Structure 1
Amino acid sequence: MRSFDPKGQGHFFIGANSATIFSSFLPGKMAPAMKFVSFNINGLRARPHQLQAIVEQHQPDVIGLQETKVHDDMFPLAEVASLGYHVFYHGQKGHYGVALLCKQQPVAVRRGFASDDEDAQRRIIMADIMTPSGLLTVINGYFPQGESRDHPTKFPAKEKFYRDLHSYLEQQQKPDNQLLIMGDMNISSGDLDIGIGEENRKRWLRTGKCSFLPEEREWMDKLMNWGLVDTWRAQHATINDRFSWFDYRSKGFDDNRGLRIDLVLASRPLADRCVATGIDYDIRAMEKPSDHAPIWAEFSE
């Protein structure tokens, strides 16, 4: 048994609102017991104001950050921990990087896939958290973007990442476990999640640009068919004008032109207790923002 690592490195084992522009809350459910926020922060050190706003406005139990863009040796641990969280991270200089912020100290934390080598991009971090309903596994991922179908390295890397995640589910989890996967998944799994205009949608498909290619949706469908639920879409079956990513260059946020590529997926036992979900446009509207909006989901016990 290894002791808690205050620097957030390695595995460890120990004993067992008004700011949201669009959300939902289902009546007749118990009060939410746990709230999860996922946010591609696009540079942690550049956007501490957005992280602080998330904490103040949502008071989440768990925050998953993607694209932290900071090497582990340079991670601003004291600053982030001062927000009231146990902090764990897996990053590298200038690119990629993920972090988990947990109100409750996890039972275990794992970084990367078992098949990762030393050169693997640092894109995934997992934690086991004890809850009144039993052990909950939280997976936070920054999924590869892929660029385009004909890219010799980026597209295969995206396929491999999805394949590695599915293999992990098959080998290490069961559909009736409490499991939550959140992050920037870089796939719009349905046409309702595409808000870049019909001509752009057709052009992206025609040129093989990533985000909603048929094969990408097959990768996502494989995860869903294993036993996962898209919590936001489950509560907003017909909504077609809420997105989580907006292009800086074309000022997509100003015109609400974007893609919903950030998701909170839950296993069925957990999804059945999902009482609220949302996409926080107000935090995306802050000064010097990430190009993504935070997303969130709440679950009752």
Structure 2
Amino acid sequence: MAMPPKPWPTGLVETIEPLVRRVLAPNGSPFTYTGTQTYLVGTREGLAVIDPGPDLAEHLAALIAAIDGAPVLAIACTHTHRDHSPAAAPLAALTGAPVIGCAPLSITSDEPRADAPFDQDYAPDRVLQDGESIRGPGWTLTAIATPGHTSNHLCFALEESGALFTGDHVMGWSTSVVSPPDGDMADYLASLERLYEREDRIYYPAHGPAVTKPRQLVRGMIGHRRQREKQILRLLDGVAQPIGSLVPLMYKSVPEALWSAAAQSVKAHLIDLEQRGLVTRMEDVWTTNA
């Protein structure tokens, strides 16, 4: 999806349905689209803040203005990439709200990463398990475990309206980067299958427009990943190759500046195929099994 023309509505409060408002952070990039969308769920009597975003003074000021003195009952993070969770701590300090949501995550691998680095300072007051809920006056947010993009990724279902806040797991503008060692393609596909079985009315991702035909999009995303699998197996059939040789062949229509991210998803596919006994690697070179 092409980037929309500027100016983007950073810092503005947009009401998108009766219980949901949105504030866009000023961190647009090729990996974040127009920026991280922070969602405020609830009413003047009490609300939750989903994905508070990057720790930027301008964004925090916009969130405080949007909250406008209402009680903040929870600050909920879908995962701990640095464009999602760093504002949780300063927002908690300003509002007195607890940080409730995904588990903390520590990445010890020295492998280069193409996606946003993790927020090492994230420290939740309470970790939500799959199926647990946060409640406020007239609203209920239920955690749906969706590992894959990251191992600690959660979506949040707004039970009263049928909306699902999908973080980076499902986005309408782009597929998610699945970046090993923490990103896992098998988990990602299983999580997509789980969402496909649900009946959510609409998705609100952390980046990009709302998804108004959720199951149709998820079905297409699963098909896209299966096609990538087949493409990898076809390219490796009788020709051992490193990932660096596969990416230009698989992503001809993608700007070269994004190939490093694409390489991470190719690697995630290869690890999944290796675990299923379909490919073998020797150092950095991969080949199909006979």
Do the structures match in fold with TM over 0.5? no
- Which structure would you say has the larger RCO, counting Cα contacts within 8 Å and 6 or more residues apart? 1
- The TM tier, using the shorter chain, reads 0.3 to 0.5
Structure 1 length as normaliser, TM-score?
0.34
Structure 2 length as normaliser, TM-score?
0.35
